[in-house]
Amino acid sequence: MTHRIAFIGMGPRGLGAAEALLALWPEAMIEVFDPGMHPGAGPNFSPDQSPHCLLNLPLRNLDIARDGTLIDDITGDPERFPARAELGQHLCQRFNALGLTHHHRAVRDIQHDEASGGWMLSTPQGPEGPFAEVLIAPGQPRSHPDPQFSKWKAHAQEHALDLVPAYPDRALLAVAKGWAGKAVGVRGLALSSIDVVRLLTLGMGGRFKAGRYLPSGMEPARIVPFSLNGLPPAPKPATATLDAGFDATEAETARFEAALAEALDSPAEPPLAMICAALEVPVERITGDRAATRDWLAAERENPGSQEDRAAPEVLRGLIAMADGSASASPGYVAGQVWRKWQDALRKGFNPRDVAPEIAQAVTGFDDGMKRFSYGPPLTSATELMTLIEDGRVDMRAVDDPDIVTGPDGWRLCNDEDRVEVAAMVDAVLPSPDLSIVSDPLIARLRDRGVLVPLAEGLAAKTEPDGQVQPGLSVLGRMAYGSVIAVDSLHDCFGAAAQRWAEGVCARQRAPSSTMRGG
């Protein structure tokens, strides 16, 4: 059997793995199976999406080139947050430069071939293989809707109502042309919701000028977002200078790395207490408030977001002031920025280890809660959202976990004394990386046969540190969540996880030109 390598999925994670493997083994025979139109970018960074969907990283932090330098073909102000389409064009160019064989078709099943010792792929056009190695890097596979959404879907079909996902954005914009003057609900209040708000305003021809929103007349009369906790995401610091004020010292980072290693190996003591003890140190130093820091982190461990009891607009206004430097940063804001800067250290300490399921659940849960700070939007997006709230275009009256009643004309959102009627609904909630709810045919078949096994309830597949689930069959990304952490980061696609997988392939296939590297 030749050393053929199959990639199933070719978004940024597949691209990062391919680049890592070819850097070690230039002669590797890689074949890509992906029906998408934009290999390298995938749907999340497709070059044809709206320019109103922005990265949550400024150019100065976009260091995903193979040599570790900034991308040189996306230019402009280092403080600028580029459109995802810009990055997608760059990623497509990187994929094309590799010259790989690309099969524009999906893979329905994978079976081990006893005769060759490799893997056979089932596609609509027939079998392919055998392959010595198969990497599954599917991005976000399709999942079964949760009970609430299933009910809404049946309701929308019965009454001919619009219930659409946030992505693809072009499809949302096409449907939204019929929403002028209507109230539209948005399920979720994270980064995807920020995209939806921009699409339903700027994407419909509106514009911001001198701190005001100038409507086009094509946008909805009101946009009504809501989420389980009603907390808006915190914008990132406005400039590199402000951002540097949240840097941990080398000694503080070393202390965190040591605490993380001990926490992952010490089930006798709650792991989050050990991790937060290290996080307290830089937060206390920056805020100067030891008691408030400890109280905030203690509450975050027990119930993320429970520290906040103000109305959402007031919370957002305060976060904007912290991001632009006009107000002192709270312990929560500081903790979130330090945690963001420790993401590489977190992955470096967590991902190569065989972490016990209960510890993985605790640490990934804490990281998920902190994303409202560490994965925040650009300050400009948060400021635009605040302008729309003050203008009444975005209605926050039902933002905090409302009761929702369906009716023939749409949905009624009820929160305390407020009742808000919406005629259409946008789903901006990303499905959980829970292996048990995946409906994608390939992933579901492998799960049902026991090839992919969840690490724990609510988590994705258990993998080895190099991504293997069986010899020669590997999974990287969201479908390995729990075995690895912080998988939604763009930098993770081009980081140590891809490098470990590539080194494992070279070791197994005895690639003569490979040179092993650490990381």
**Is residue 283 domain-shared with residue 347, that is, in the same domain?**
yes
**Is residue 368 domain-shared with residue 289, that is, in the same domain?**
yes
**Is residue 347 domain-shared with residue 394, that is, in the same domain?**
no
Phi–psi pair at 109, nearest 5 degrees:
-160, 160
Judge whether residue 515 has pLDDT over 70.
Answer: no
What pLDDT, on a 0 to 100 scale, did the predictor assign at position 457?
94
Chain mean pLDDT for the chain:
93
What pLDDT, on a 0 to 100 scale, did the predictor assign at position 418?
86
Question: Letter for the amino acid at 291?
Answer: A
Average pLDDT of 337-363? Answer: 95
Pairing verdict, β 4-8 and 133-136: parallel
Residue 344 structure tokens: 């590489």
Element (DSSP H or E) covering residue 511: none
What pLDDT, on a 0 to 100 scale, did the predictor assign at position 268?
61
Closest by Cα among 26, 90, 25, 20 to 55: 90
- pLDDT tens-digit series, residues 208-245: 999 999 999 999 999 999 999 999 999 999 999 999 99
184: which strand partners?
A: 223, 424
Closest by Cα among 2, 503, 395 to 519: 503
**Is residue 103 domain-shared with residue 221, that is, in the same domain?**
no
Domain count, the chain: 3
Residues 6+ away with beta carbon under 8 Å from 514: 24, 25, 503, 506, 507
135-149, 441-455, 502-516: which is most confident: 441-455
- pLDDT tens-digit series, residues 50-108: 999 999 999 989 888 765 444 667 778 889 999 999 999 999 999 999 999 999 999 99
Judge whether residue 514 has pLDDT over 50.
Answer: no
**Is residue 122 domain-shared with residue 158, that is, in the same domain?**
no
Judge whether residue 517 has pLDDT over 90.
Answer: no
**Is residue 452 domain-shared with residue 473, that is, in the same domain?**
yes
**Is residue 98 domain-shared with residue 155, that is, in the same domain?**
no
What pLDDT, on a 0 to 100 scale, did the predictor assign at position 67?
57
For position 420, which CATH number holds? 3.50.50.60
Torsion over CA: 149, 150, 155, 158 (sign)? positive
CA end-to-end distance (rounded Å), the chain: 30
**Is residue 101 domain-shared with residue 194, that is, in the same domain?**
no
Closest by Cα among 304, 306, 332, 301 to 318: 332
pTM of the prediction? 0.93
Residue ranges making up the domain that contains 304: 240-374
Residue 379, domain member (yes or no):
no
